[in-house]
Amino acid sequence: VDQTALPALRTTAVTDVDGLVDAIRRLVVRGAPALGVAGALGVALAARTLDGPALDTACDRLAAARPTAVNLAVGVARARAALPGGPDAVLAAALALRDEDIAACHAIGDRGADLLTALCGERPLRLHTHCNAGALACVEWGTALGVVRSLHARGRVAHVVADETRPLLQGSRITAVELAAIGVAHHVVVDGAGASVIARGLVDAVVVGADRIAADGDVANKIGTYPLALAAARAGIPFVVAAPESTVDPATPDGAHIEIEERAADEVCDGPAWNPAFDVTPHDLVTAIVTERRVW
């Protein structure tokens, strides 16, 4: 699915590494877990046509196509480790990663639903999310939206607030479409409204995904996440991060060491613009991080 075209459904075929690097940079495929699987499949593609230094260069280019979402480099490294076994072994490694991502998202959804019920009580919840951490950002189910889906399956979602997510509108173009497809009541708000919706008492909990989680629990996610964490802390409601273990990067000690992707100014406006794609929420503002293995 070409995610730049959503809500229009357009599919695209990627047949070489150049095409995949371009698709990743343009957000045709996006979302940390989906990037991990795409990167791994990219190595499988490269392994069929390249070898030697050209194959190494292709893997390096894939891993570096976007810098903040650590899953991309993790996915490339996973598939790359299988290169000595030949192209079929690389493809098998990539497909295993895909299957692990599906299982992880379902586990995160259930664990996150349990946690939010424990934190907020056994009633339908008003949830707030940012960007898109749903099925399209993963392989299926989703991370933050996986939690919403699992709660919805239990009849425990009253309403979801989805920030529209400037500048590329992943919230209004993708999250809102996913929520509509599964029949969850929701409204899109402009990003500037997010904190005040929380301050007005209209939200019970915030649940977001992550692109990289540092060893100390600092969380990088789509720009505009940090203000929600500040607002949630001020309002005394939970701010929960849902992500697979593959998003946790022990090699990054804290948020200050996470590279923040700077995107082109013309995504924002025709004039000069500063376009950081992610922000970092310090761990003291995070109520809990939910992975497929633990809550921390």
C-beta of 133 vs 240, nearer to ligand MRU? 133
In whole angstroms, the minimum distance from the beta carbon of 223 to ligand MRU comes to 8
By the rule CB under 6 A, 211 interacts with ligand MRU: yes
Q: How far is the CB of 15 from ligand MRU (least distance, A)?
A: 22
Judge whether 218 counts as a catalytic residue: no
Is 172 an interacting residue with respect to ligand MRU (CB under 6 A)?
no
Residues in contact with ligand MRU, counted by CB under 6 A, come to a total of: 18
Query: Binding to ligand MRU by residue 227, rule CB under 6 A?
Result: no
SS3 per-residue string spanning 227-283:
HHHHHHHHHCCCEEEECCHHHEECCCCCHHHCCCCECCHHHCCCCCCCCECEEEECH
Structure tokens at 106: 């379902």
Residue in 138, 148, 150 with CA at minimum distance from that of residue 102: 138
Among 152, 156, 173, 222, binds ligand MRU (CB under 6 A): 222
Using CB under 6 A as the binding rule, the residues of this chain from 34 to 73 that contact ligand MRU are 69
Looking at the chain, which runs of residues are DSSP E strands? 125-129, 157-163, 186-189, 205-208, 212-214, 219-222, 239-242, 248-249, 278-281, 288-290
Distances (CA, A) of 50 to 37, 40, 44, 113, 150: 20, 15, 10, 44, 42
Active-site position among 101, 110, 211, 218: 211
Q: At what angle do helices 32-49 and 52-63 cross, to 10 degrees?
A: 170
- Distance in Å, CB of 33 to ligand MRU, minimum: 5
Is 170 a binding residue for ligand MRU by CB under 6 A? The answer is yes
Q: Which window, 27-35, 85-93, 188-196, 250-258, contacts ligand MRU (CB under 6 A)?
A: 27-35
Q: Give residues in contact with ligand MRU (CB under 6 A).
A: 27, 30-33, 69, 131, 133, 137-138, 143, 170, 209-211, 221-222, 277
Q: Which residues are catalytic?
A: 211
